[in-house]
Structure 1
């Protein structure tokens, strides 16, 4: 966009920016604290699993078992490395998101208008702010054009204030909103020194609330930790009473504590959320907080704007209706003399430097059809911004000879209401409006007025207007939008259209776009007049909300939330801010969205493509499902570890310490990456977007799901303990029995990781979803198992011995039976659904 800015406003040079930054710093409310790798490492070493490992290592050192101590120290390095890799990966992903979430500001430097990240604004910079922008520093206005600002964030007063460089208060303040026009201001204060910075320091100390899923997972892990402490004490006491050996009893207790503690789950949750947000960023979906990913999968209602979201926002002027000749003109007739006045006043009622697609079109049509271009002769000296229910706007221009032009345009109903027409004439024009609206056209009314003197009415509606005609725009639905809405409906999500347009146009466009609707449209005035109970019913049953204003949009979003819906609100304008903020997920458009909309939203779609929201919802569902799979896998595989460690001890079997800390920590090293790396990489299941959304209040793992995981774990335990007893019955020693039991558990772990990829589709169907990480880690675990069994120094260290081919086949068969029975359960589930 070109800006009509005085040539003497040249801005800072690069050298001056450096000097200013050295003196005043960056435009931030707080100094950025970056986590160093040392901080990350210290946080990791505070983890309970690491503390247990360190304790076991020290015990081995004290009793002179140096081999086990060295292994434990290696395990500490291994667990720390995995956690460090995951934490660092998550941190980098979140840093990338933060960079993209940083708003841009326009400044003049070296006589050029450039965009810079807001935190780079320096004291002395010349900043440009225009309609819809958030002002990001305090400063003094040097130049303006019909500039008004909403300072409610500082004053609490919601009305706009017109300002220029000659005003008594010619200052602008960070955190306020540009309502109309344009201003260039010189930055005087940034960051903590701004007015809002001094007021808002306490805001920085407010912690972000935990999501329901975070709370549920935290409580689950706490519960498991408490169980671990109880079992640890029970085993220590029981073993000590039985053997009188304190060190062995302590090691047995610590072994069991390690087997109970599900430390992989919090790591998995953080990793899934951060990497999920990062992957969406690469798709063109910028998420403000990684926890939003979880909420995305639960969306039950999408409230969408019409213009630019459902439609192309191309705004082609298709017809013009001239009131005086009572005739509708086509595009090829726009140069007709009869239309001169309508097109003339339509242009004057637009912004002098247009950025709205309709106003850009009107300026172009004016250029193409008018004999003489008078735009340079006239200056706007007064403006009534777009307001009212329904809305209209009025511009007042004057030339050097003091000739005036007073032009208005807006919703046809608004223009008719202020025009000097009889009711019969109004009804006739309403018939024309309805006919255009039913074809999906967007209609604006145009009027003119005359006024002597400068004692202008407070409200634009108080002028005496002469009705001139109608502008008929066509904004066609986006290509492929029908398919997008079909995907949304298939996913069990409702769609509501919330627009400022009239009912007929909205209904026609909704039909063309494939939006399901069998109820009459409701307008903003009806919403405002409704009781709380009526509003709940209206918001639930209505699809099309028309002639909506900010308060009405907010009312609808709030009513839907109160009914338990998870609401995604799509918007792009200043007026959408309250509703975007109130929705569970506010979605702003990256291209045509105002800075206000983007700052209020939780998610920004960079290319304004509604299909990206479907991609986001699918990602949310995939991530939630994969976290559940990971947790269910952890529960299922922990049960046999816990019971194999504890039952031989409690039941007084011949080999009470079949697993030592060495074996448990090896299994933990296997389970950690499987849980947090492999399952995070698992693709979405093919039926995920054909299911209704889950309720956000649902328990993370319901009793049925938990029961399935427990049964899986118990069946694996039964298989392992059968191998134990079978080996004892054959007269095998402890080393051979341990090798058989350990191998069975490793094979069961690998098979379980494949089986639990889906709790509905067969293992063969899941293979179609390629996950090279799962295959890679499974092969790596098998190689490690073979090394443990067949490389003598390693097998001696693990206190196992090599197995024959028949023995290896036996443990593989037992593992397969104890895990693959679940495929029969899934088959029954699939058959019963048909």
Structure 2
């Protein structure tokens, strides 16, 4: 497209600079609290930080300065880790926000450029097209069959026609283009737009939490409540036994700290934000965090044909004229009848084409004519694409009074408004069958004669003569057969929802190895079905043709009622409602309309459906890794809680085996393990051959929760066994504490390695590409060695260097208390074989 078609030069670079300097950027700028200070406030409110603060104060009051300083340092460290994770999450989301920003076409320096919406300035000449969103307020200076949907401002769902000459010549930010094309001169941007002035209310709107987030928050809150109750009970019991306020308070705080699983919400936030960031790096833009959760559960993918299964690279391939009754190849056009048909089809297209088929018709016209007539005629009346099946009509006139009335659309639509004899209809039917069974997209072309300027209200009222058929070839994408096979392997059903006819769709579907291409249903047939029949049909049928927005929406809603998790892939205006209704709305980033992108929750930048396979794989990986992290947290928290509680409750020889300094060290070991190691884990090789996970109301099923509890109890048994062994051997309290602590650290390291998969053996997972595993495990072992063998450290933690025999026994017990689960995994694999 050339800017010369509009005769608009637009602003110069200098004018753009001056306008931006004077009026600023095109973005809403409301008062918002700093993200950093919000994060700091959130950290200060964390229960673990509050407990650490209280413990530190008690240590200082009781004169234990070393312990008090260590606790103060721990507060800084815990807060630092939380702020770092929050910063990573916010940075990832900011990058996503920047990438998902709409791109606009503007005329500057007499050229059409693409710029981000925030770069628009007052005075810019902005081009807005069907399916696009209006990015700034402005006045229309040029329009073609232009109408906008202003429901976001007025609540009125019907489109409003607008042009440069009438009273309705203004457009507003946030509205969407329902039809046609216009060029506007921008008059207001950002906060000064009509939407911006009422947008203050946006500040008070908070993002809704996802079901998984609510479940995790609920679990953590329950654990906090349990921690508070246990804290109070232990404090009271200890106070009556020891009559020492500070000592009993420290014991109670130690137990409370061991109960709090504060790593879980940190892990959730980190996994979701970094997951979205990883998807972004793959060319998949996630607009809503809940999409990351849902991706791994998709059971059905509904996809358009054109531009998704096919290249959307239309070329005029064949034509059929009713007069000759023959089908001709477009490369060998010599007869005048065929040339006249191409000429008429071009006049039925937009003067400035943006649809691939219309671009192909204009190109074909240029190739067959000696003298281009387009400059001699002007559009005097037009009828937008409408009706079921759809058609469109244009009325052109020359300065000498010559008139062209041309229509094109679905062949059935042109047939319905033409006076055809039976033999002509039979001819057309035979030609259509021959063309569509080879996968061609077909349009009927009609011509009308009409005197006077009192044009009919409906285009169907013109007395049309059916002239012929133009057939386009849109080749299948080269990788589409493999993409479909990948979906089928992942146990995901694929359905085609298209506006094309059944024969063309069947031909393309057959070429690409689509399962279920033999059976299809049209939009009109589908819309007439009862609710019960509809739900049955959407399960049984894989190909839906001649679809319109209401029919597409019905399919999505029926699949949802069948408890399917639906991903809808689309790029057109008509896909908007279905994209919005689907669990995962997927828009094409390059050829997709702005309306489709706004309605979608995920955008494929490269218009490549194979990226959807990658997205599903990433969704499954993120969810599986998050579960591994949380199962790890539950498993390792159980022995910490019971090792602190049981000696105290049962009155064993050394009741205070761990103090707050030991608990906080264990917490600092667990935090990086779950948030860093597991987030970085690769996808397991069987993930994309399993059924999608069910979207249940709970995060864990009973078996998974039982696995974590049993793992935790076995580690507890190992820990307390070493405790009793040390006591029976007459070892002192520091040495007993050292051995118990070593068991827990050894079990923690082993649990990290074993729980990398709940199916594959440790010998398989050790080969997974995750350098962080050995880094974090190495750091843990190194620091533990310092605590045991470097005197200042061991003295501070009240440890004593153990003998090699006792150390080996403690390490071995820690390993054995976890490694037994490898036997369970072996049995799982044997059952599958």
TM bucket, shorter chain: over 0.9
CA distance 1:234–1:88, shift in 2 (3 Å): same
Q: Give the superposition deviation at 1:827.
A: 0.6
Q: Give the superposition deviation at 1:38.
A: 3.8
**Equivalent runs, 1:240-389 vs 2, <5 Å:** 240-389=239-388
Shifted more, 76-85 versus 664-673: the winner is 76-85
Q: Give the superposition deviation at 1:697.
A: 2.7
Q: 1:131 is matched with which residue?
A: 130
Q: 1:114 is matched with which residue?
A: 113
The yes-or-no answer on 1:828 pairing with 2:827 is yes
Q: 2:398 is matched with which residue?
A: 399
The yes-or-no answer on 1:210 pairing with 2:197 is no
Distance (Å, rounded) in 2 between the aligned partners of 1:146 and 1:640: 71
Distance (Å, rounded) in 2 between the aligned partners of 1:158 and 1:401: 41
Shifted more, 331-340 versus 549-558: the winner is 331-340
Q: 1:551 is matched with which residue?
A: 550
Distance (Å, rounded) in 1 between the aligned partners of 2:175 and 2:21: 23
Moved over 6 A (4+): none
The yes-or-no answer on 1:656 pairing with 2:669 is no
Q: 1:142 is matched with which residue?
A: 141
**Equivalent runs, 1:615-694 vs 2, <5 Å:** 615-694=614-693
CA RMSD of aligned residues (A): 1.8
**Equivalent runs, 1:370-449 vs 2, <5 Å:** 370-449=369-448
| 1:169-228 alpha-carbon deviations (Å, 9 max, x no partner) | 221222222233332222223334433344554355332221111111111111111111
Q: 1:96 is matched with which residue?
A: 95
Distance (Å, rounded) in 1 between the aligned partners of 2:279 and 2:677: 18
How does the TM-score come out when normalised to structure 2?
Answer: 0.97
Distance (Å, rounded) in 2 between the aligned partners of 1:339 and 1:537: 46
CA distance 1:495–1:656, shift in 2 (3 Å): same
Q: Tell whether the 8 Å contact from 1:12 to 1:126 is kept in structure 2 after alignment.
A: no
Q: What is the total number of aligned residue pairs between the two structures?
A: 833
| 1:109-133 alpha-carbon deviations (Å, 9 max, x no partner) | 4544333322333333332212222
| 1:786-814 alpha-carbon deviations (Å, 9 max, x no partner) | 00000001000010111222222211211
Distance (Å, rounded) in 2 between the aligned partners of 1:8 and 1:329: 40
Q: Give the superposition deviation at 1:36.
A: 4.7
The yes-or-no answer on 1:163 pairing with 2:190 is no
Q: Give the superposition deviation at 1:12.
A: 6.3
CA distance 1:256–1:772, shift in 2 (3 Å): same
The yes-or-no answer on 1:49 pairing with 2:58 is no
**Equivalent runs, 1:589-604 vs 2, <5 Å:** 589-604=588-603
SS at structure 2 position matched to 1:174: coil
Shifted more, 481-490 versus 167-176: the winner is 167-176
CA distance 1:623–1:185, shift in 2 (3 Å): same
CA distance 1:15–1:413, shift in 2 (3 Å): closer
CA distance 1:149–1:12, shift in 2 (3 Å): farther
Q: 1:4 is matched with which residue?
A: 4
The yes-or-no answer on 1:750 pairing with 2:749 is yes
Shifted more, 238-247 versus 148-157: the winner is 148-157
Shifted more, 239-248 versus 746-755: the winner is 239-248
| 1:463-508 alpha-carbon deviations (Å, 9 max, x no partner) | 1111111112221211121111111111111111110000111112
Distance (Å, rounded) in 2 between the aligned partners of 1:678 and 1:638: 18
Distance (Å, rounded) in 2 between the aligned partners of 1:9 and 1:103: 23
The yes-or-no answer on 1:173 pairing with 2:156 is no
Q: 1:196 is matched with which residue?
A: 195
CA distance 1:25–1:146, shift in 2 (3 Å): same
Q: Tell whether the 8 Å contact from 2:4 to 2:110 is kept in structure 1 after alignment.
A: no
The yes-or-no answer on 1:239 pairing with 2:238 is yes
SS at structure 1 position matched to 2:393: strand
Distance (Å, rounded) in 1 between the aligned partners of 2:533 and 2:201: 39
Q: 1:502 is matched with which residue?
A: 501
Distance (Å, rounded) in 1 between the aligned partners of 2:750 and 2:26: 54
Distance (Å, rounded) in 2 between the aligned partners of 1:19 and 1:358: 38
Q: 1:35 is matched with which residue?
A: 34
Gaps of 5+ in 1: none
Q: 1:804 is matched with which residue?
A: 803
SS at structure 1 position matched to 2:820: helix
Q: Give the superposition deviation at 1:147.
A: 2.9
How does the TM-score come out when normalised to structure 1?
Answer: 0.97
Distance (Å, rounded) in 2 between the aligned partners of 1:521 and 1:753: 51
Gaps of 5+ in 2: none
